[in-house]
Structure formats: C-alpha cells, structure tokens
Structure 1
Amino acid sequence: MKGFSVEENSSVYGAKMKVIGVGGGGGNMINHMIREGFVYDKVELIVANTDAQALDKSEAKTRIQLGETKVKGLGAGGKPEVGKESAEESYDEIKNQLDYADIVFIGSGFGGGTGTGAAPVVARAAKENKSLTIGIVTTPFAFEGLKRMKQAKAGIEELKKECDSIIVIPNEKLLSLVNPKEAGIKDCFKLVDNVLMRAVNGMVSVIMNSGKSDVNVDFADVKTVMSHRGIAIMGVGVSEGDEAVNEALKDALQSPLLDDISIDGAMGVLVHFRINTKCSLLEISKAMTMVQAAASDEADIIFGTTTDESIENNRVEVTLIATGFEPPKAGEKDDGGKEEPHDFRKDFIKKMRAASGSDFTSDDYDEMDREPAYTRNRMD
C-alpha cells in the first residue's frame, strides 16, 4: 500500500486555477460561490453561456458569450447540439480565457442544451492549453424528465473524452440529504449549487495555504490523483461531537452522493477536512486509516485541511474524491443470469483489520452503517 501523503505549510505558490461555469447550472454555481465568499488570489471564476440575459445577471468578472452569431444570445433551447456548435464558434475566446491555468475546473448542470453540449468543447480547449482538466457535473432530478437524463448521460460520455477526471453528482441523491417534505424546488437547486461549490472548494483548499496550521499538499500530488482518466466519485460528511472526525469521514465513505459505488479499487483518493483550529491533526491522521482500508492497495491517497475559526470547535466537514476507476457495469453470466454484485463489505472488514491492527468485526461494520451522521446533521 502506498499510504497517504501529507506536507505541512507547502503552499502551491505557482499553481493557477480557473473555475468556469458552463450553461445555466454552471453559472448558478459560480454566483453561489461568489455570494458564499469563495475568494482566492490564484483562482479565477468564469462563466460561459449562450443566454445573454443570464450572463448580464452573472456576478463573475469574466463572461464568455457562446455562439453570439448562431443563437444571438437567446440560449440553446435545450438542444446539446446547439450548445456544442455555439462553443465551437467561440472556441478561440474560450481557449484564450483559460490559458495559463495549471488546473481548470468545469462546472455544469447536464441535461439541457448549453452545459451538456458546450462543456466538452470547453474541456478540449483546456486540455489543449495543457491544463489539468476536471469536470464537475450534475445529472437531472427525476422530476426533470427522461429526455434530460438521456441527454445528460450522452454528454458525460463526450466529456469523458476530454477531461482528466469527471465528478458526476446525481441530483436525485441529494434528496437524501434533506427532508423532502420541507424542501421545495428552489431548496433542491440551492443544494446542488452548494455541493458543486463544495467539490471545487475541497480540491482548491487542499492545495492552497489557507492558514498557518493547515495541512497542504503539492500540486504534483493532486495531479497524480486527478490525472487518472475517467469517472470520479465524491462523498461528503458532516458531524459534531467528540468523535466528529471519525463520524464525518465514515459518512463521506458512505455518502449517498457516491451513488452506491464503493471507493474500493480507486487509484487516487483526495480527502479535505474543514475544521476548527483546535481540532487534533493526530485524530485526523488516525481516521485516514479508514480510507486506506477502503481504497486500492496501490492507491495514491492525499489529504489536507482548512482551518476556520468560525466553525464550531466540535464540528468537522469532510469532502472525499476518489478517481481512477469506472463504476462497475452489470454483466451477464454464461447461464444468462445477472452477475452478482461484488461483496465490498468483506473487503472493507479485511482491510480495516490490517490497517488498524484490531479485531474489526462485522458487528463493527454494521454499527458504522447504522444511522450515518448526515441524517442527524443535515447540510445547510
């Protein structure tokens, strides 16, 4: 096992990052980040859209009008092919705006026209600039209809061809994080914006020196984790109390955002902790054995922290991103029956015993699996 790497106070002074929101969902993400105070000296926020009215309302300083000649600022009409053609028309401007970036994050809500069609073109421009290119996209809620889901899946396949890694966040799974009886449509989409922001913030924060007591990692380490081409998965966890670090990390490993996929087999894992300055680094280091136990024996595992004096002393927020594998596909046995799913439970118990040196049992696993803290401590 390669273990996890950590470097203290090793800020990536030369790394420049750009976050571009493509389409309506991506633009909403950027606005949400600005309103929530997402400000870093070396991170530029950009929006790109076919809808001129949406661009006018954007709070981003850098705005790219896609397909000005083709659609005349009126949007893509829910057609990905129009979004793609509009981005192709504006390709030189996209490439120029994304130049000189070490990392480009592309955020978008898939299923509509602009984001679904234009995001892969934006990613191609970023890759041509030799930037580490990471897509962060959402798939539609069930109430948005089958057509949008079908378009989203096709768009993800196109985006995979151009990105180093793609984090796919299923909107429908977000409903597990709120009380469905109390959450309206606006609440649901606000939650989407918040999770998209958290995905970006987790990766940005882990390589930026936010405070003297923070644990940071080199850009080269992040590149190692995120350069494994393919689908990435993201988990989030929040907890409070004496065991907050352990509980929050357990929740991230079992997060509904993982879409029922284990991180077993992941070749890269990045974990970010948002903590109070009084939180023990030793406690975090011990908790990371859970990630070692769950990931591939050959995985590159890195973690970092962001200290925030405004957060409660006993509250911990965790963002986990795993890369370097494709979700398992259902196969057919020779007898025509469905292939049985792999029993990750046994693997996890075995690895936990090896990592902790203790008699970790199936009862311990069941206790971990019982009422995770995200149901007790809802996301804001």
Structure 2
Amino acid sequence: MADQVFSSDLNDGYAVIKVVGIGGGGGNAINRMIEEGLGGVEFIAINTDAQALVMSKAKTRIRIGDKLTRGLGAGGNPEVGRKAAEESADELYEVLRGADMVFITCGMGGGTGTGATPIVASVARELGALTIGVVTRPFTFEGATRSRSAEEGIEALRGQVDTLIVIPNDRLLQLADKRASLQNAFAMADDVLRQGIQGISELITVPGLINLDFADVRAIMSEGGAALMAVGRATGEERARKAAEAAVSSSLLDVTIDGARGILFNVTGGPDLSLFDVNEAAAIIKETAHPEVNLIFGAVIDENMHDEVRITVIATGFEQNRVMVRPRQGAGAQHYPQQQQPYSYNQPPQQQQPTQQQPYYPPQPPQQQQPTPQQHQQHYHPQQGAYQQPEAQPYQQPEEPPATPSRDNARKAEDFSVTYDVDNLELPAFLRRGNSKQR
C-alpha cells in the first residue's frame, strides 16, 4: 500500500505547462516551437479565424466567438476579440484546467490577440496557474493606430499575469541582417519564447546536480511586473562568462537585468563543467542585480553538451521607480516610454509658468487670501495663550486685512504721482527755460 502511494506521488510530481498562442501572431509562434521539436509542454491555439486554426499545428485548437464572428476573424478590432473570448469563457476554463504554468503569447495590435489575451490570462490565473505573458509590440511602420491598440492591450494584460515579457518588433530591424527573410526575422522573436519555455521546462523536469523545481520557478516569477527571460550559449575559454553575458544582455527584450530582486539561473554543461564555471557565471549575473536579490541557481550535467555551456536566466521584481527600458532608436519603439516621460519631465515647466504670471493678476491673490486674516488669528491665538503675551494683541489689527503686494505697489504708485511735480524735478537747463516761457 505504501509502495502504491509512493509511486502515485512520483507520477503526479511533474508540473503541467501549457503554451497558448492567441490570434495570428500567437499561432505562428507556437507553430515555430512545434517545428523546433519543443517537448514537455501542451500547445493550445486560440483564434476567431477558422482558416488560421486549420493551418495550426497544435493538437488543441479553440475557435472563440462563433456567434459573434462566425469564424471570420475580429477584423483588427480588439473589442471584438475581447467579446469573443468572453463568449467562449467556458471552453477556455475547460482547456486550461489542471495547468500549473501557462505561457500566453500573441502579437499585440491586432484584434483577437489584443482583445482576447487579457481574458485568457485572467482565466488561467483564476484557475491557480502561474501565468506568464510573452507578447510583441508592432513595428513602427504598422502605424499609430495599431501601436496605440498594442499599448492598450499591453496595459490590460499587465494586470492579469504574474509576469509580462514584451518584445518590440523594431529591435528585429536592428539585430537582423538586411538580407534576412521576414520569416527568419520573426523567428528571432519567437526564439525568446521558445528558449525561455525550453529552459524552464528543463529546469523542472531534468534532474540536476544542483536541482531546481517548479516551486523555485514560481517563487521568482510570481514577483510580478516586467521580466527578463533569456538563454546564453558559449564554447571555448571563458565559456561560462560569455554565456552569462549573452543571457543577461538579450537585446530583444524591453528590460535589462539591472535592479532585479529575483533571479533564477541554471547552468548546463558537459561532464567537465567546473565549480569555477558556475561561480564565474553567478558573478556576472549578480553584478548588476539588486543588492538584496533573491538568487536561486541550479546546475545540470548533460553528456551531449561536450564543450558547450548553456545558461538560462529568469529575472523579475524590478524596482518600480527605476527606468528599466533600454534606449530605443525607432520612433515607434519610443511610443511606450513617452507615455511615462511627460509626468516627470513636462510637468515642472508647466508649474513654473503660472508663478511668473501671478504678479500680473492682482485681483486673484485677494480672492485666495480673503480667509487668511482668520487663519492668521487662529494661528497666533495658541501662541498668545501659550506665552501669555496680551501686549502683542494691539499689533494684530484683525479688522483690516493685510494688504497684498499688488495693493502696496498700487499705493506706492499713487504716492509717486502726487508727491512730485515739475518744480521739484531736476531738469536740464533748456527744459527749465521752456517751462518758464510757458508760465
């Protein structure tokens, strides 16, 4: 009896990972992962477009919003995508049930992906799964309308996932060769998701010399907010250092590892993997992290790695008050951080302009300062009671409110015009002679 319970526990000890591709971009991403032979996970394709689902290589395919769209797609309207997901909520609950970890990927800016992804994420999270969003931001040349829809979709998704990873497509223009095909360029972005999922899957399922499990992954990725998920590879001398640097400097992602409070990394190498290799990789990864970082690491010996070292890094928990966004060159790529900058850079000049104009509007200060005599008395009454100085009362003059600076200036101007006349002025001789002749 004890043996049966022990065997059952072993069979149930593996985490269930599901990868959900939503819309056209998400469907293409999971198709590429299936072509690469990524195993250990369950793929699910979700779309409003019946033709796109026919082309999907995923075993599980869900067509949402049949009553609303009749399988003809969302027409680029995120509201249609959202309503389609809400219409098929029961099917989404059924297909996501039992998952320990759910990766959700889509291309933001379209109709189905932008609108349906936050709904799917909320369902996965409600079922208790660790929910990770991996989405792309559209190219600049796709237009302002699509970029605006993408930003709204990203913000809606941010509150529905445990961790969000954003890949700007404009980075592909900087990294891909000019002769690279469109398919190869998009494959670079999909590799971030594929390598991250593969790395996490191996962390959980492959026994290691220093073992990591799903609880370690959840502890790091439940920190919330933005995340860095990347894999670095290197061979030869200083292979551990080079692999670590490649992992933490993934130029496709929206964030750097700077200031991360939670980091999980795994070092995989051949039988010759040394303690020095692990220490060198850890030093590189920890160098730019937060001083109080929660660092979890593992090590796996793989006979097939030979001279190669592979390092998988997951970093989360970035400080909210730090700017984690890399400098961007494309105009469209700068769209998202520009939404935050006006609040920190444009407001101070707006606050300084009224202060320069206040002296030119004398009627306004008296209206704002009318209650000040009472406030003035209330402020000084406690002091009079505390110090018992009744002699100071005649100097308060509560019946006459204190003159404003503009009123004082007006009185001075009147005195100036009445006090002086021509006889009192020191004039040049030729002007004095002219005045005497007139008299």
TM-score, with structure 1 as normaliser: 0.77
User: 1:33 is matched with which residue?
Assistant: 33
Matches of 2:300 and 2:107, distance apart in 1: 27
Tell me the matched-pair count.
321
> Which residue identity is paired with 1:199?
G
Matches of 2:274 and 2:176, distance apart in 1: 30
Question: 82, 85, 89: which is aligned to 1:84?
Answer: 82
> Which residue identity is paired with 2:261?
M
Q: Does 1:314 align with 2:307?
A: yes
User: 1:343 is matched with which residue?
Assistant: none
Question: 249, 261, 268: which is aligned to 1:267?
Answer: 261
Q: How is 1:1-380 mapped onto 2 (pairs within 5 angstroms)?
A: 13-40=13-40, 43-179=41-177, 181-209=178-206, 213=208, 215-259=210-254, 261-273=255-267, 275-280=269-274, 282-304=276-298, 311=305, 313-325=306-318, 326=320, 328=323, 329-330=340-341, 331-332=344-345, 336=349
Matches of 2:59 and 2:74, distance apart in 1: 23
The change in CA–CA distance for 1:251 and 1:115 in structure 2 (over 3 A counts) is same
Aligned-pair CA distance for 1:186: 2.0
Cα-to-partner distance string for 1:303-351 (whole Å, 9 max, x where unaligned) = 345665555x3333444332112462542388649xxxxxxxxxxxxxx
Matches of 1:298 and 1:121, distance apart in 2: 35
> Which residue identity is paired with 1:157?
E
Does the 8 A contact of 2:93 with 2:123 survive in 1?
Answer: yes
The change in CA–CA distance for 1:81 and 1:33 in structure 2 (over 3 A counts) is same
Matches of 1:316 and 1:310, distance apart in 2: 11
Aligned-pair CA distance for 1:99: 0.6
The runs of 5 or more residues in structure 2 that have no matched partner are 1-9, 324-339, 351-439
Does the 8 A contact of 2:240 with 2:280 survive in 1?
Answer: no
> Which residue identity is paired with 2:218?
K
Matches of 1:99 and 1:190, distance apart in 2: 30
User: 2:414 is matched with which residue?
Assistant: none
Which protein has the bigger helix share? 2
The change in CA–CA distance for 1:153 and 1:308 in structure 2 (over 3 A counts) is farther
Does the 8 A contact of 2:189 with 2:252 survive in 1?
Answer: no
Does the 8 A contact of 1:235 with 1:256 survive in 2?
Answer: no
The change in CA–CA distance for 1:254 and 1:27 in structure 2 (over 3 A counts) is same
Structure with bigger gyration radius: 2
Aligned-pair CA distance for 1:257: 2.4
The change in CA–CA distance for 1:80 and 1:275 in structure 2 (over 3 A counts) is farther
The change in CA–CA distance for 1:205 and 1:305 in structure 2 (over 3 A counts) is farther
Does the 8 A contact of 1:206 with 1:303 survive in 2?
Answer: no
Q: 1:60 is paired with a residue of what secondary structure? A: coil
The change in CA–CA distance for 1:33 and 1:11 in structure 2 (over 3 A counts) is farther
> Which residue identity is paired with 2:153?
G
Of all paired residues, the percent bearing the same amino acid is: 46
Q: 1:217 is paired with a residue of what secondary structure? A: coil
The change in CA–CA distance for 1:150 and 1:47 in structure 2 (over 3 A counts) is same
**Following superposition, which runs of at least 4 residues in structure 1 exceed 6 angstroms of deviation?**
none
The runs of 5 or more residues in structure 1 that have no matched partner are 1-9, 338-380
Matches of 1:256 and 1:11, distance apart in 2: 39
Q: 1:207 is paired with a residue of what secondary structure? A: helix
The change in CA–CA distance for 1:278 and 1:183 in structure 2 (over 3 A counts) is same
Matches of 1:102 and 1:186, distance apart in 2: 32
Cα-to-partner distance string for 1:102-127 (whole Å, 9 max, x where unaligned) = 11111111111111111100001011
Which protein has the bigger strand share? 1
> Which residue identity is paired with 1:37?
G
Does the 8 A contact of 1:203 with 1:272 survive in 2?
Answer: no
The change in CA–CA distance for 1:215 and 1:83 in structure 2 (over 3 A counts) is farther
Q: 1:265 is paired with a residue of what secondary structure? A: coil
> Which residue identity is paired with 2:69?
V
Matches of 1:208 and 1:11, distance apart in 2: 12
The change in CA–CA distance for 1:54 and 1:88 in structure 2 (over 3 A counts) is same
Does the 8 A contact of 2:231 with 2:312 survive in 1?
Answer: yes
Matches of 2:345 and 2:101, distance apart in 1: 40
